[in-house]
Amino acid sequence: MEIKAKEIGELRAKTGLPMMECKKALVEAGGDEAKAVAVLKKKGALKAASKSERETKSGLIESYVHNGQIGVLLEVNTETDFVAKNDEFKQFVHDVALHIAASKPEFVKKDDISVEILNEKKKELI
């Protein structure tokens, strides 16, 4: 089956993934874009799982206090010091801290969440 460059481009625009990955997914899915997206998700999950065992030895701790009323202390870890020193990573960590403060979280740690609420939230994601 011939996959056209236009189809690859459309899939790339939707997923933001490299052209060759999109082409391989389209070939595997027989040209069906929806199936190709599913293939890419599956491959992404496998890739993430393989990386989950890597040790994160570096990172940043960011604090944010809004008007003396709410505060966030956030730790974000990464595999390398090179990433932790990157300005984009620093901005990302800062932005996450701001979003946490703005979201008014109900729970501070996993143990604070009741089983009922946890199950309810899991159902929302499925």
Domains in the chain (CATH in brackets) are 5-51 (1.10.8.10), 58-125 (no CATH)
Instruction: Give ∠ CA 53-55-58 in degrees, rounded to 5.
Output: 150
Q: Which candidate, 35, 46, 41, 34, places its Cα nearest to that of 17?
A: 41
Q: What is the pLDDT of residue 79?
A: 84
Q: What is the pLDDT of residue 49?
A: 67
Q: What is the pLDDT of residue 46?
A: 66
Distance CA 21, CA 42 (A): 12
Distance CA 18, CA 104 (A): 36
Per-residue pLDDT of 77-89, as tens digits, reads 988 888 889 899 9
Indicate the angle between helix axes 19-28 and 5-15, nearest 10 degrees. 110
Per-residue pLDDT of 81-113, as tens digits, reads 888 898 999 999 999 999 998 988 888 788 888
Per-residue pLDDT of 49-78, as tens digits, reads 666 777 778 889 999 998 888 889 999 998
Per-residue pLDDT averaged across 6-10, rounded? 91
This model's pTM is above 0.75: no
